[in-house]
Structure 1
């Protein structure tokens, strides 16, 4: 298969488009240039008179779009504006995002995407992606074939049960796969033509949604058990048949289904779960980078997690793999990871039945009722919040971390902002500037005792776009655990001394494309080493991958191929 579709020289990725004309052309967001169509293009493509007489450059269009964006008075209005731009002119949309990513990302993804999902029924304008419902059981393949773009290479799918920290949003979860795929294109250059967002609608257990006359989804309780499992099996098989070689990313499924789907499919198709594996890699990268500030080697780390779901145990498993690569026995490495869940400290003889994903981290020890007592007893070096319990890292907890660590590492990773375990200001204030802090949602710089800290955002956007790009570029048939370990190490290496100097353990977002490229190279190299790549390894891997990255630039419809 040819590359992922750099459009700088061709009319469309791998020649899949039949070029329309007139209004039909302007209705194609990947082809539309709006007021940037030249006079010659207008004459040849039947656009004369359908557009204003003055021709604007992309730079002038960007200036106008940025002014319109900044003129909106609320984050949700800004989100709606960006979505509208994406629907009419994708090239301009991605250029705007790429040029102003730090300003745009909190709008197009966390935290504003959470608000957008909550309001999705009210702000719905036009469809983007596919909704596949439980009523489609037995005919999922035909539904997939309704998608108008051929050759899909990347699908992000959710069933809407666990959207960010907001819970079961059912069909309203569509904003998540749309946002994730927008970041794939912006941050790693995966061509939008190949991207398909899908929401699986098997109902919702939210009584509020089922009672809302404007709710756009299936108005019944969630389908569970064998019927759900058979439905998802049909879905995966249909994807394999309709879009062979496609990378499938599972997103925001409930814990039980998330683990089950990953374990069932990870060794038979090219897939991963970003909540489990992407979160793990970005957290591990932060831990590795933090060691350059704390002075403690990763082998000496003791991790305490608040939350023992897919994110927490995923981080722990990847951390264990990192320790194994340093010569530490697996069981010994697992004993360096402890968890507090809704029932207190996770220990072997606590008396409750544990799900499989928690069992490896249920150690011998005294059961403690809460986080504070666990911090005081275990004296962890790193505290990681992934439970979505806003404010859980209170002053007593932070001060307890400081009592046993000169530079405590505190990661408040839950999204959205309202679910963050503590704010950046609280972490720096309560630790008297000692904390090495990162968060899942963005926080503004904090000045304490004359020093300004720029908190790093442990956002999965640092990981999943590069992983996807690397897997697609080399045609990998699987996405392995070792690829995420390689991705985490590549991300940690991208952290500069200047980042650490201001307290940030992640790179500046302005360099995200370079970071994604480095991660893609690491992932592809691992695929070639494991014999999973279907594309022969080129002499220059970096150039090979870089040439496949989509650049949001207008094409000349009359240039030579």
Structure 2
């Protein structure tokens, strides 16, 4: 920190600025310089000691929501210390600042509300969104994660309570890939909620009205996108947890106009594809020989199916034939061409065959090599489902990807037990190791955190003009190529989360290479792209 950094701040304000506050780590000289003598105890602590103190505080708490709140308060008062804690042990802290704990935090948002973070843009402010965006103190925003709160994880419409998702996602941009936090802005678009209990809750903090739909909603989104372009021309917009009826059209409308992507559609697809590449290294099979059956037919399912199809096409399969190797099954059964309830984005995966209303029967008819759960309905991968998959595959691929843990289609223990240890397993939420017949299986977590922070770092370092579908295939391959044989032998098909920063910087380098190759960068190509990525990465250390 330099004296110029604190110009205009009195000492009291400095201690409440999370970006510059060091707390007890301010030296005696700094305390005199900034006029904060007497505002702190005289003891001077190192950053390492502060981290140890946070660990001790966390160890005295008996549930994860309390730990989430402690970390949220820390982020609000000392950003450097917050990231020093997270980046020191990412595998341990990701489940606390994001899934699964963030789901409970979003559900209880209005009852545990503390210091505000990010921006809340209500539809009642239409016509003034640029003004409200201008209230954000940082004038060079590179990343916005935005939600309208309608489909938070697998929990549904939580209104403004969904803000925990953008906040958590952006924390992972920094903790997992080193994107500097000052460039990140979480936003909630408040267009109302259709959840009656929220509208009746006296503590609810959002608009007390039903959700706005149609042309008025579309115009609100358009105004928001334009305001972002006007104020932050180098900004990438990540759409998060929008309902299918809005998520798909928004992405289609803006993907070729501005730098933007939808993590639920594209990030989920990429981490699933990375899992496929990892699984195939265990089974020894080719991607183009696989057949996948999805439980769930929304934007996540079609996003994964389309990215898999495009990856198959890159390996020589005709794109129509590739799409034919992916099938969708929802509450009304297998998606077949005779159904009249299919949306446009679902039709490329509809089967020209008689309807099937039972998932096990669909497995027997289609003989998939893998099943992927994105239904948000727990326990649908029951014993009959897993046994049916094990009957037709030596190494069945079982991916229950729904979040949070309470919504997972099956547990790791169920998948391994019912398949007699033959399943290649990954889930959306974390599960503990499984001990079965003298073997220990380490379940992989197909968490988007392997993709979106690294993609963000690549976009930040290159100042990319667009995010393309091919970038997600590049990212998926880059994730999978970092899984060593010892890791695969334990059943884990993703890199260990303890190596998340190194993994993300590797993925970011691969994506950045592609960005430069395609002429999408707004900066000059350096001789060493990996060095560029590493040089841009945030480090949680106090400056002098």
Deviations 1:393-430 (A, max 9, x none): 00000000000001100001000111100000000110
**Structure 1 Cα separation of the partners of residues 515 and 6 of structure 2:** 31
Give the whole-Å Cα distance in 1 for the aligned partners of 2:465 and 2:65.
Answer: 39
Q: Tell me, yes or no, if the aligned pair for 2:446 and 2:494 is still in contact at 8 Å.
A: yes
Deviations 1:294-314 (A, max 9, x none): 121111100000011111110
Deviates more, 1:452-461 or 1:363-372: 363-372
Pick from 216, 223, 240: which aligns with 1:251? 240
2:265, 2:28 → 1: CA distance?
Answer: 51
CA distance in 1, matches of 2:211, 2:301: 25
Does the 8 A contact of 1:340 with 1:370 survive in 2? no
**CA–CA distance in 2 between the matches of 1:342 and 1:328?**
30
Match of 1:4 in 2: none
What is the match of residue 524 of structure 2? 536
Q: Deviations over 1:76-108 (max 9, x none)?
A: 101100001111111000010111222211110
How far apart, in 2, do the equivalents of 1:43 and 1:390 lie? 58
* 1:445-467 deviation per Cα after TM superposition (whole angstroms, max 9, x unaligned): 00000000010000000000000
Distance 1:527 1:17, change over 3 A: farther
CA–CA distance in 1 between the matches of 2:75 and 2:359?
44
Distance in 1 separating the partners of 2:33 and 2:65: 39
Secondary structure of 1:149's counterpart equals coil
Say if 2:90 and 2:500, in contact at 8 Å, map to a contact too. no
CA distance in 1, matches of 2:6, 2:190: 30
1:484-532 superposed Cα distances (whole Å, 9 cap, x missing partner): 1100110111111121111000000111111111111121111112111
Match of 2:163?
A: 174
Aligned to 1:328: 317
Aligned equivalents of 1:18, 1:200: Cα separation in 2: 34
In 2, Cα distance between equivalents of 1:469 and 1:96: 20
Q: CA deviation at 1:16?
A: 7.7
Shift of residue 17 of structure 1? 6.9
- What is the aligned partner in structure 1 of residue 363 from structure 2? 375
| Contact 1:204–1:210 under 8 Å retained in 2 | yes
Q: CA RMSD in A?
A: 1.1
Cα 1:11–1:428 shift into 2, 3 Å: farther
Deviation at 1:330, TM superposition (A): 0.4
Match runs of 1:32-111 below 5 Å: 32-111=21-100
Aligned match of 1:520: 508
User: CA separation in 2, counterparts of 1:530 and 1:19?
Assistant: 44
SS at match of 1:547: helix
Alignment TM-score, normalising by the size of structure 1: 0.96
Partner of 1:134: 123
Pick from 424, 429, 432: which aligns with 1:444?
Answer: 432
**Equivalent position of 1:303 in the other structure:** 292
Contact 1:160 1:174 in 2 (8 A): yes
Deviations 1:529-548 (A, max 9, x none): 21111101000110111100
Cα distance change on mapping 1:409 and 1:275 into 2, 3 Å: same
1:554 aligns to what? 542
Contact 1:457 1:506 in 2 (8 A): yes
SS in 2 for 1:249: strand
Q: Is the 8 A contact 1:177 1:251 kept in 2?
A: yes
Are 1:357 and 2:354 an aligned pair? no
How far off is 1:21 after superposition?
A: 3.6
Q: In the aligned structure 2, how far is the partner of 1:234 from the partner of 1:542? A: 37
Partner of 2:252: 263
1:211 aligns with 2:200: yes
Match of 1:5 in 2: none
Aligned mates of 1:357, 1:521 — CA distance in 2: 32
Match of 2:188 among 196, 199, 207: 199
The correspondence for 1:463, drawn from 427, 451, 456, is: 451
Q: Aligned partners of 1:452, 1:324: CA distance in 2, in Å? A: 36
Shift of 1:277: 0.2
1:3 aligned residue? none
Is the CA contact 2:6–2:14 (under 8 Å) kept in the aligned structure 1? no
**Residue 507 (1) aligns with residue 495 (2):** yes
Report SS of the residue matched to 1:444: coil
CA distance in 2, matches of 1:385, 1:555: 46
The answer to whether the 8 A contact 1:19-1:25 is kept is no
Q: CA deviation at 1:473?
A: 0.7
Answer yes or no: is the 8 Å Cα contact 1:116–1:175 preserved in 2. yes
- The answer to whether the aligner puts 1:497 opposite 2:499 as a matched pair is no
Deviation at 1:371, TM superposition (A): 1.0
Report deviation, 1:18: 4.3
Task: State the Cα distance separating 1:11 from its structure 2 match.
Answer: 4.7
Q: 1:20 Cα shift? A: 2.5
Distance 1:129 1:17 in 2: 22
Compute the TM-score of the two structures, normalised by the length of structure 2: 0.99
Matches within 5 A, 1:391-410: 391-410=379-398
- CA–CA distance in 2 between the matches of 1:479 and 1:175? 24
Name the residue aligned to 2:134. Answer: 145
SS at structure 2 position matched to 1:555: coil
CA contact (8 A) 1:251 1:275 kept: yes
Q: Which consecutive aligned stretches of 4+ in structure 1 deviate over 2 angstroms post-superposition? A: 15-21
Aligned to 1:29: 18
Question: Residue 487 of structure 1 contacts residue 519 of structure 1 at CA under 8 Å; is this kept in 2?
Answer: yes
Task: Report how many aligned residue pairs link the two structures.
Answer: 544
